[in-house]
Structure 1
């Protein structure tokens, strides 16, 4: 090989090394640049993965990093896209029932139940009614019917207590008013019995809730028809028990292993076990 050919070969190799070095520097610069993310989408059977650009992460890790949705502790995101509205409705029902029942039981010498009008309108009434509507949007016919109906009960009861509606003033005879209220409560005895029949294949706590509610309405009805203070006070005691059962069922709906050391235990009735086996 001549000197001229050797010189040309060395020059070509030097140029190739320079090009390779330039490409490496360019690649390093590109790797350190902040490339904007243009696509974020989910994957997996339950959308448990989130793709951020070319990075794949678990959705649960993002929930923990961002603090979830105002949940205390580590929050496991539910598989559904809509929160469970039942605990909210049950809490509204339980608190309003507790306040009125303490007055009916004449606890601490209370004989006037007007303090329950506020919760009956807003918490046990409007909030519970909204919870029932949200249950309907989740295709839960039972939950939507029950929560909406008892929300309507509290709204109507509050309307009876307020003078602006003139309902009580329309009755000149107090006995006629008691009988009218008795028929009003009797209707809820019938409705609650229908609901109770639909809970015989559920859990002990859920069935007990509507059983004690049925007894509460029944005693209130008898108390209005007979104008017996003792029966009404007994209804108040049953109502207090009903309210605590309502809170317990609500706790079972939102207390999880992620946010609480205590989780309500669901004890199924015998019918529920048979239905689960045959399904």
Structure 2
């Protein structure tokens, strides 16, 4: 039979001390921060939708400057800010996408407002300006291609956004570089589809978060 001292020693060995107590996982410091994804997707969707109306020939070209305020404030600044908050949420994919496409819209607004008039004033022919636009878009097609590959590990809705966006950039750049307007027009229609999918993805995240359950599915993660 064990002595009293032995029982005390055995009980002490079974009872963890403060240093031996299991460490709890630290709380997520970003848990109280709202998801910036729906804002970024909505800003992208609306600006892309309006510009694509002109690219598809569904809106008169003379009204195209109406896109610039959207490109600057919503597609540009709002989307870029959403990307910065994705950095805070430790979402590398979202931060890269929103900051990049926000910068795209800011660059687009500056290009249309300042660069195109400068090229025209310098005597550059219209074909040369169109080629410059095509080169501008080629780089974004390449960027969107590898973001499409990365999106395959996200949701079906995001894959749809990046797949159609890649086709949009590719068709617009080919149309501008070759001078075949019909190709750019098709790119405009694909851009409309990309905008609609992005709107759906944004609406799904907002609605599902508000209702606390899946109301609008976004497709399974691969």
Looking at structure 2, the residues matched to 235 and 149 of structure 1 have their Cα atoms a distance apart, in angstroms, of 20
Q: Larger strand proportion, structure 1 or 2?
A: 1
1:104 has 2:76 as partner? no
Report the counterpart of residue 157 of structure 1 in structure 2: 108
Q: Larger helix proportion, structure 1 or 2?
A: 2
Helix, strand or coil: the match of 2:208? coil
1:240 has 2:208 as partner? no
Give the aligned length. Answer: 194
Helix, strand or coil: the match of 1:107? coil
Query: What is the TM-score of this pair, normalised by structure 1?
Result: 0.64
Report the counterpart of residue 70 of structure 2 in structure 1: 119
Helix, strand or coil: the match of 1:82? coil
1:82 has 2:22 as partner? no
Which of residues 193, 199, 203 in structure 1 aligns to 2:145? 193
CA contact (8 A) 1:94 1:247 kept: yes
Task: In structure 1, list runs of 5 or more residues that go unmatched.
Answer: 1-44, 48-78, 273-279
C-alpha displacement of 1:204: 1.8
Looking at structure 2, the residues matched to 238 and 250 of structure 1 have their Cα atoms a distance apart, in angstroms, of 18
C-alpha displacement of 1:160: 1.1
CA contact (8 A) 1:160 1:167 kept: no
Report the counterpart of residue 128 of structure 2 in structure 1: 176
Report the counterpart of residue 5 of structure 2 in structure 1: none
Looking at structure 1, the residues matched to 209 and 198 of structure 2 have their Cα atoms a distance apart, in angstroms, of 21
Looking at structure 2, the residues matched to 262 and 144 of structure 1 have their Cα atoms a distance apart, in angstroms, of 24
Looking at structure 1, the residues matched to 126 and 109 of structure 2 have their Cα atoms a distance apart, in angstroms, of 19
CA contact (8 A) 2:71 2:109 kept: yes
Q: Which has the larger radius of gyration?
A: 1
Report the counterpart of residue 36 of structure 1 in structure 2: none
